[in-house]
Structure 1
């Protein structure tokens, strides 16, 4: 059996878990990162450097906890986009004139139900840096689940 350098590299990376864990922006095109509702899309590189478009359902990574977004490594929920949980989820800069620093394209923000019975119009805005729960798994976005609940 003839093994090429590419084959050996692929096998080695597969055995060690592939791309870097968390901080998917290191191997994904930051300008392509978009969040719409519960879906995150980005163009990410695989271990050979080829870029492809990938989509992740963030309900598998996040949950709403009394108006705050939290990592959900077991995907037990409540899913943050389930009925009466969070709405208007995006990573775009808010149109309020308030500038969010630091997170950039990975900073998700939604209006999330605080569980107090408040009307949706008065739900607080929850912020979450997706770099803490999302990884690039050989060109495919995935939830980073092995760090437990703290991610």
Structure 2
């Protein structure tokens, strides 16, 4: 089992049967995000996954629109693969829509700068904790609620 962490908006339904990638806040903020995500989906061979971190403190800054941290215990069989976060960011900023070399791997290489893609939908039993934060600054948070499952 692997413990992973995903940050979502307050209204995000983690237990939903479907995830609509076009509703991602990144789709509005990053030009051609959805087209680049389609290229990733081809490599992953699905668009039904949840993006998560391997460490709770892994992201560089907190997004005010995502104040909820979900802690999940995931079986390795439910992991589709791992993303090199630095290469993914470079890919998003590039003009290239096809070159994803080194972005996605089936095996974990390091926990430092990788994200994990988890098969979705999944059993509710993987949900272990929900933490709600007040994000006062992109680098500062205050825990306001924690629920154990």
| TM-score of the superposed pair, with normalisation by structure 1 | 0.24
Determine which structure has more spread, i.e. the larger CA radius of gyration: 1
| TM-score of the superposed pair, with normalisation by structure 2 | 0.24
Structure 1 or 2: more strand by fraction: 2
* Greater relative contact order structure (CA < 8 Å, 6+ sep): 2
